[in-house]
Amino acid sequence: MNSEAGRRQLEAFVECQRRGDVGHSFSHLSLALCLLPHLKHQYYNTFLRVFEEWSDTVEETKGIQQALTICEAALSIYPNSPDIQYLLAKILYR
């Protein structure tokens, strides 16, 4: 069941990317990686790109607190990622 739901989330991610909907892209990819953790390595760079774009957008439009919430979500998926920790540090520095 998780694998079918994960595949549906990946399909929704691709569709959102095609439409340029970064927020929903981030949500669908995050959920897909939670459901299909064996794909984390394969999607790491894609996740970083989407995360950085979405967190920048959220920080600009909704403020730092919301951007920190996005960072928390990203770190729950990749807790030891130096790249995500670096992006979090950039947000905190600003």
> Using an 8 Å Cβ cutoff, are 72 and 88 in contact?
no
Q: How many domains does the chain have?
A: 1
> What are the tens digits of pLDDT across the range 32-60?
999 999 999 999 999 999 999 999 999 88
Sign of the alpha-carbon torsion through 37, 39, 44, 49: negative
Q: In this structure, what CATH number is given to the domain that contains residue 58? A: 1.25.40
Domain enclosing residue 85, as ranges? 2-93
| Cα–Cα distance for residue pair 86/70, rounded to 1 Å | 14
| Cα–Cα distance for residue pair 18/67, rounded to 1 Å | 23
Whole-angstrom CA distances from 53 to 1, 6, 37, 67 are 31, 22, 22, 11
Q: Which pLDDT band holds residue 92 (cuts at 50, 70, 90)?
A: confident
Strand positions, DSSP E, the chain: none
